[in-house]
Amino acid sequence: MSKKENTPTDFVFSKQNYILLLISLAVIVAGFALLSGGGSDNPNEFSEEIFNVRRLYIAPIIILGGYFLVIYAIMKKPKKEI
């Protein structure tokens, strides 16, 4: 009987894929942090602060960019070593 060699298993993702996934997670969290705030201390008063440019345009674009980066990180193939 022959011994089975201890060969390392091939992972689906490379180190670069995991790094890109962590970066994209940080981008998404930063986008949601930009969405926060803008509330009023008094519930009977309306605050116009919720309609500023940061919450309406910048934060959603950053969040979508983070999701697209997640898709790229998943779809990226590792370079084959020769």
pLDDT in tens, 3-38: 566 666 677 888 999 999 999 999 999 999 999 987
- Evaluate whether residue 2 is within a structural domain: no
- Evaluate whether residue 81 is within a structural domain: no
Please tell me the predicted confidence (pLDDT) of residue 13. Answer: 84
Would the pLDDT of 1 be above 80?
no
Q: Which domain holds residue 34?
A: 15-38+48-75
Instruction: Please tell me the total count of domains within the chain.
Output: 1
- Evaluate whether residue 52 is within a structural domain: yes
SS3 of residue 74 by DSSP: helix
DSSP 8-class letter at 79: P
Integer Cα distance of 45 and 42 in angstroms: 6
- Evaluate whether residue 59 is within a structural domain: yes
Please tell me the predicted confidence (pLDDT) of residue 81. Answer: 62
- Give the helix, strand, coil percentages of the chain, each rounded to 5: 60, 0, 40
For the record, the structure tokens of 35 come out as: 């969405």
| 0.85 surpassed by pTM | no
